[in-house]
A = this chain, B = another copy of it.
Amino acid sequence: MKNTLYYIIVLYSFFLVSCNDSLSLTETKVTNVEELNAAIKECQPGDNIVLSNGVYKDVRIEFIGHGTPENPIVLRAETPGEVSIEGRSNLKLGGEYLVVEGLHFKNGYTPTKSVIQFRIDNKLFASHTKVTNCVIEEFTQPDRDATDHWVEIWGRHNELSNNYIAGKSNFGPTVMVMLKGNEHIKNYHQIVNNHFGPRPRKGGPHGETMQIGDSGTSMMPSHTNVSNNFFERCNGEVEVISSKSNFNEFRNNVFFESEGSLVLRHGNFATIDGNVFIGNDNSEFIGGIRVINTGHWITNNYFYKLKGSIFRAPLAVMNGIPKSPQNRYNQVTDAVMAYNSFVDCETPFHFSVGSNVSQSEVLPKSEIRSARPKRTIVANNILYNETPFDYPIKNYDKVDGVTFKNNYSNSDNKSEVQPEGLIKTDLAFANNIPSVSSKDLYAGFDFETINKDIFGSDRTSDNNTAGAIVNTTKDPLNIDKSKYGTDWFTAEKPKTESKTISVATSEGLNKSLLEANSGDILELKSGTYQLDKTLKVNKSVTITSADKNNKAELVFSANNTAFEMNPKGMLKIEGLVLKGNKSQSAFKTLDKNMTSAYGLQINNTEISDFRSVLEVSKGSFADTVAVRNSSIKNCLKGIQLNKETNDKGDYNSEFVYITDNTFTNVGENVVNYYRGGYDESTIGGNLVFKNNTVSNCGKTEKENILIKNRGIVNVQFANNTFKNNPVKVVAVLWGEKGQKPENNTISNSGEIKVVQNLKLKLMY
C-alpha cells in the first residue's frame, strides 16, 4: 500500500471574506491512512486535507500541523457523515489552528485512553484547534471497567462545537478538559452548540458526560466556556457535568431529562447563567445544580418539573467538610443564586445536602460534612407551582449562613426554614413563564453585573423583574433542537414495525431468534421444545407462548446457560415454562465484552431445575432485571447480581424488581445483589422485593442470608411470606437509607435485620 501512495491535489485560490486576504489553498484528497499521514506531514497553513468518503478502520491519526489564525489547516470529510472511523481507532491533535470536520466515529473504540485527544504526547499539544460537525456514537470500550475519555482537551483556546456525542457505557467522563500544567490553564476552551445524546446509566461512578479538571488541578484557573449545548438523557451518573476548576462558565445549555446535575464539584467562581433544566416529572433522579465550594454565581436559570431531591435537588447546596482534604468537600461560601425561575419543582432549595454528622460512627472525621453554607445569597428568584406546594426549602442542618432576599412564591412556606425574604404572592403564568408584579428586587453586591436575562433581554431598565425571564413572551421550553449538534446526523432511528413470528419447533426457535429484528415477538406454540444449544440474545426480543393457558415448555440441555445475554440484549419472557438439567444457568451474560447494558424481564413463567436463575459477569450491567408473577424452583441459586466486587461503587444492575413470585427449594440465596464502596455518584441500585413467597430455600447458603442486598441504596421489602427457610437472616436492610421491612410474614426462617449505618469501604 505504501508504494501505491497517490494524491489528488487541487490548487485554487479564493478570498477569505473575513480578512479580505488573498491566498492560495492546497486541497489534498486522501483515501487511506498512509495518504493521510503523508498529507499531514506536508501540511501548511491554509491546507485542506480531505478524507474521501468511506470507512477508515483501525486508524490512529496524529494530526500535527501549524496553521495560522487566518489560515488554519483543515482535516475534513469529503462529505460530512460519509467518512466513518471504525474499529480500534483514534485521533490525536498537535499544533495550532487546526480544524477537524465531519467525521463519524462508530463501530469501535479507542485503543488508547481517548478517542479524540488534543495532544500528541507530553510535549506536543493542540491550541486554537477546533473539532466540529463530528459524531462519536457508541464508540465505547467492550469492558465497562476499562477507562477512557472520548474527547480529551488539552492546550488553550480549543473548540468543540456542533458535534453529536452519545452512548458511552464505560468508565470515564465523555468529555474531559485537562489542566495538568501551565500550558493548559486559562484555556478559554469553547464547548458550544453540541448535542450530547443519551449516556446510559453506568451502575457506578465515573460516568460524567463532561468533567473540567480534577481534584488535583482544582485550583487551576480554567475559564472553559460550556454554552448552548443540549444534554439529552445524560444518565451516566449523578454528575452530568462535573466542574473541577476555577472560573468556568455554563451558559444557555439545555439539560433535558438527564439523571444527574450540573455539579460544581471542585474549584470556585463558576458562572451558571441562563440554563434550562427540564425534568418533565419523568424521574426522581433528574437533578438541577449542585453547589460546593466558593464564589459561584447561579443566575437566570429555568428549572422545570424537577422531582429530584438531596444530591439531585433542583438546587442542592451542600455542607462541606471543615478544612476539607483537596479531593473531598469544601464549604460553600460566597455563592449567589439570583434571578432563577422554578416551575413545578415542589421543593427547589435543598440546603446542607450531604450533612452526615449522624454517620460519625461509620465514617472518619475527614468525611463528615458539617460545615454549613455561609455568606450565601438567594435573591430575586421565582418559585411557581401550579398546585401550590408548601415546602419550598428542605434543610439537612441549620440554615444560618444563607440570606434570602426578595424571592417570590405562590405557595405558603411551611418548611422548617422560614426566611423573610421568601414572599408569598400571586404569580402570573403564561408561556411557561411565571412572573411577579412586584418590582421590589434585592440589589446585592455586584448585582448590577446581572444585566441580562436568560434570553439576553436587558435588566437595567425599570422593567427588571425577579425570575429568569424579563420579557414573558418567549417560551423557555420551546427548544429548537436543530440548533445543536451536526448539520447532517440524526440520532432518531427510523421506527421499525415490530412483527410477531410464530414458532413451533426448536430449530424454528433458534432460527427465528437469529433472524428477528429488534422489537420482534416470537410466539411459541404449545408443546415441548428440546434445546441443546444456548439461545443468544443481542437485540430487543419477546418470547411468549401463543396460548397462555397452555404454556410452551422449553427444556434445555445446552451447556453453560439456556439464554446468553449479550450487549443490548433486551429479553422479555412471557408465559413460558423453562426447565434445565441442573448444570446450567437459565440466563447468563457474556463473560466479558458486555459493552452495553442488557435487560431481562420474566413474567408468568415457571423456571426450574437450573443451577442458577441469572448469572452475570463482573463488567456486565443490566438497566433492569424484573421477575414477576413467576415460580422458581429446584435451582441451586437464584438471581445473582453480585460479581461487581471492586468495591468502588459499581454494581451489576440498576433496577431489580422481584414481585409476586414463588421461590421454592432454591438452595443458596434467592437474590444476591451487591454494591461495594462508599460512593455517592450513582443512583445506587434499586431492589423491589414484594409479594413473594419463599419457602424451603437457603439450605446450602453459606452466609445464612436469604436475600442479599448489601450496599444497595434503594430497597423496598414488603408483603412477602417466608416459610421454612433454614437461614438465620432473611435480609439485612439499611436504616440510614430509609429501608424498612413492611408487612412480611416470617415463619421458621430467621429474621429481618435493620442496620442503621452500614460500614462501607472508603474509596478516597
Binding site for B on A (CB under 8 A): 180-183, 185, 215, 219-221, 246, 268-269, 293-295, 323-328, 330, 334, 336, 366, 375, 445-446, 764
Contacts and interface: CB of A to CB of B under 8 A. Distances in A.
Contacts of A221: 269
A294 B325 contact: no
Contact of A294 (B215, B219, B323, B336): B219
Given A181-B334, A181-B375, A182-B334, A220 B294 contact: yes
A185 B215 contact: no
Contacts of A764: 323
A330 B219 contact: yes
Nearest to A320: B326
A128 to B, nearest CB: 15
A446 B127 CA distance: 14
Interface of A is mostly: loop
A185 B297 CA distance: 14
Contacts of A268: 219-220
A220 B325 contact: no
A6 B366 CA distance: 62
Contact of A375 (B180, B246, B326): B180
A323 B334 contact: no
Nearest to A335: B182
Contacts of A446: 182
24 contacts: A180-B375, A181-B375, A181-B445, A182-B295, A182-B336, A182-B375, A182-B445, A183-B445, A215-B323, A219-B219, A219-B246, A219-B293, A220-B294, A220-B295, A221-B269, A323-B325, A323-B326, A323-B328, A323-B764, A324-B325, A325-B325, A325-B326, A326-B326, A366-B366
Nearest to A366: B366
A188 to B, nearest CB: 15
A445 B183 CA distance: 7
Contacts of A182: 295, 334, 336, 375, 445-446
Contacts of A294: 219-220
Q: Most chain-B CB neighbours within 10 Å: which of A183, A219, A375?
A: A219
Contacts of A330: 219, 326
Given A220-B294, A326-B330, 16 more contacts: A181-B375, A181-B445, A182-B375, A182-B445, A183-B445, A219-B268, A219-B295, A220-B268, A221-B269, A323-B325, A323-B327, A324-B325, A325-B325, A325-B366, A326-B326, A366-B366
Nearest to A294: B219
A375 B217 CA distance: 12
A373 to B, nearest CB: 13
A39 to B, nearest CB: 29
Nearest to A764: B323
Nearest to A215: B323
A446 B186 CA distance: 12
Contact of A326 (B215, B220, B324, B336): B324
Contacts of A366: 325, 366
A251 B394 CA distance: 49
A1 B594 CA distance: 90
A338 to B, nearest CB: 12
A328 B269 CA distance: 22
Given A323-B325, A326-B323, A295 B375 contact: no
A185 B764 CA distance: 32
A246 B268 CA distance: 12
Nearest to A267: B219
A575 to B, nearest CB: 55
A445 B327 CA distance: 28
A330 B220 CA distance: 13
Determine which residue in A180, A268, A324, A325 has the highest number of CB atoms from chain B within 10 A of its CB, and name it: A325
Nearest to A266: B219
Nearest to A328: B323
Nearest to A181: B375
Contacts of A219: 219, 246, 268, 293-295, 330
A325 B321 CA distance: 10
A185 B295 contact: yes
A366 B322 CA distance: 14
A293 B217 CA distance: 11
A632 to B, nearest CB: 47
Q: What are the 8 A-B residue pairs with the smallest beta carbon separation, nearest first?
A: A323-B325, A323-B326, A323-B327, A219-B268, A182-B334, A183-B445, A219-B294, A181-B375
Query: Which interface residue of A182, A328, A764 has the most chain B CB atoms within 10 A?
Result: A182
Contacts of A246: 219
A449 to B, nearest CB: 11
A529 B93 CA distance: 92
A97 B634 CA distance: 87
A694 to B, nearest CB: 46
Contacts of A445: 181-183
A398 to B, nearest CB: 19
Nearest to A293: B219
Nearest to A183: B445
Highest count of chain B CB atoms <10 Å: which of A183, A295, A326: A326
A328 B185 CA distance: 24
Contacts of A323: 215, 325-328, 764
Nearest to A297: B182
A492 B157 CA distance: 55
Contacts of A185: 295, 334
A610 B246 CA distance: 65
A328 B325 CA distance: 9
A180 B330 CA distance: 15
Contacts of A375: 180-182
A197 to B, nearest CB: 35
A185 B334 CA distance: 10
Nearest to A446: B182
